Structure formats: C-alpha cells, structure tokens
Amino acid sequence: MRLLTCVKPGEFAYSNGSVPELKKGYALIKVKRIGICGTDLHAFDGTQPFFNYPRVLGHELAGEILEIETHADYRVGDHISIIPYFSCGTCFACSQGKTNCCSNLHVMGVHCDGGMAEYILVPIQSLFKDIRLDLDSLALLEPLAIGAHGIKRAEIRPNEFVLIVGAGPIGLGAAAMAQVAGAQVIMQDISQNRLDFAKENLQIPFSINPNQEDALQALKEITKGNMPRVVIDATGYKKAIEQSFQYISQGGTYVLIGLQLAEISFSHPDFHKREATLMSSRNATREDFHWVADSIQQKLINPHVFISHRLAFEEVASQFPELINPANKVIKAMVILD
C-alpha cells in the first residue's frame, strides 16, 4: 500500500508498506477521504506542538471497513468516520466521560501515525457510523465536532450574541454550530476573504475586520453596548487571545478552542469585576459527533460548502505548500482516495 510521511518540516515522502494485519479489537479501514487541517499544516511548517518526526499525518477521515471481527454495530462495507482521539478508558478523565482529554491520549497524526495511507487499523471503539451521511460529510465530522464541543462548553442561550475570533475551518465550524444552538454570531478575522466566505456560505450576520475598523467599538454597536456573553478564540494566537479578554460581557464566558504554547496574560481586576468564566475546549466527544451528524441530516448545516479544494492522494506532497498560501483562499482541502 502507499502511504505519505512528513519526514521533517517542509518535506513529505511517499513509500510502499504492507497492508496492516487485522488484530483483536481493531478494524481494517480502506481510507476514502482525508481532510487537511491546521494540525497538518503546522506539522508541515514545523510549528505543531506535541509533535515528533517522522509522522504520517491525517485525522479527518472517512473510509470503508474491509475487515472486522463480528460486531453488533459495524460490518464489512460500512462507510465510517473516525474519532481520532485514542483514549485509555481507565484514567480519571475517561471515568468522567471526558475521553477527549484522557491522561494517556494519543491523537492520530500527532502522537501516533494518522490516515494519509491507503489502509489503516483503527480501534473499533473509535469508529463512528451514520448511514445518512456521504463520505465528504463523514470526513468533516471531526473538524466540525471540534467547534461543536466548544459551543457545548459555552452553554449558549438562544438569540444571544456569540463572538467567534478566527475564521479558519475550526472557527467557521464553531460559528455554524453556534447558529444551530440559536446564537447571533459575530465573526472576527483579519482576512476579508474568510469573512466574506462566512457571510455568503454560512449566512453569518455580523463580521468585524480589526484591520479595517475598531473591533471594540464595532462590538459595542452590534450588541448595543452589552458585549457578547460568549467569546470563542479559534486562532491560537497569543495576541488575538489576549486582546479578546476585553470583548467579554459582564458575567460572560471565554472559551479557548485555539491552542497557544506560550503563557497568556490578562488584567485580573478587569476579568474579576465581570465575574467572567475562562475555559478551554479540547478535541471532541462521540456526543459531539452525533450532534454534528444530526445537524447535517436535518440540513441545519451544509458541510460541503467548507470544501474549497480537492486533490488526489498522489498530489498531496507536491501541492501541500500551495495549501498554506493565503492567495489560494483555501478553506478546506479534501484528499480523495477512490
């Protein structure tokens, strides 16, 4: 079989390997779709945390079951998505149902090899099936579930203002799921192309480009001085994270979906007087996958609008640098293996 390895920052290499042999508790999957995400891009440019080279990337996946032991929920030929956060099931987090932040977590394409291969072995407990969804939708469940998890953490109330900072794929997904939860979404980004995409394809009613206007004043005008009760960072950039503390309403909640390796700082008195809440949002759970799948089936969101580029598996190495180039206006690139 063919597989693609990120040998070191800036370098991919194709190779031939053996098709994995089935083992107890696992399923053999023929990979059909691979969504390229920020994790893959950061791994390629050398800025992905918790990462070692060489590594097979890819964890936004859809595929077909080729081999599996007898199981009540899955059979050969099923099209599946993969929940790529392999948890131990025994630590305190897992015992509390928080498998997304397992103490011994291994994420495909980060801590262990991912899905940029023709065939992969996956723990049965990490499979997700929904016969209502096509392959593209199945591959997009994972990135959309990341946003969905942050939205659930925020406990959004109908008709309230929610500010999403960062209109990359995760931020856009969070915005879509915030709308499903009934929020009035405000999208903020320095890329006008991304803001235009959000307006045209997701019908986001409000947008702010800090390079073109005073973001704080714009938020006051949109919210009639109240400010958003929920602010969500989907950038992971230190400056953006720290600036967004000023956007939280009294009694508001700030959710960090984006990950920043450095320390962040903010004014404790200002944060304290608002009695604000600060929380992180890591990965997603099976429940988040179900919520996204149901939202797609009910036509509350359309995952296909996120796919801006398609490429064949053998084109990934040569075209990958172009996916990073902002001039190419990539929202989500989807790798096709048929």
One domain for residues 125 and 151 = no
pLDDT classification of 41: cutoffs 50, 70, 90 = confident
Give the pLDDT confidence of 127-172 residue by residue, as tens digits.
999 999 999 999 999 999 999 999 999 999 999 999 999 999 999 9
In the chain, the number of structural domains is: 2
Average pLDDT of span 320-332 = 89
Q: What is the residue-averaged pLDDT of the chain?
A: 95
Q: Is residue 141 part of a domain?
A: no
One domain for residues 33 and 67 = yes
One domain for residues 215 and 262 = yes
One domain for residues 208 and 329 = no
Residue found by looking up tokens 């190419």 in the block: 328
Domain that holds residue 87: 2-129+302-336
Query: In the prediction, which pLDDT does 269 show?
Result: 97
One domain for residues 276 and 151 = yes
Give the pLDDT confidence of 88-126 residue by residue, as tens digits.
999 999 999 999 999 999 999 999 999 999 999 999 999
Give the pLDDT confidence of 48-77 residue by residue, as tens digits.
777 889 999 999 999 999 999 989 999 999
One domain for residues 156 and 122 = no
One domain for residues 7 and 98 = yes
Q: Is residue 292 part of a domain?
A: no
Average pLDDT of span 294-300 = 97
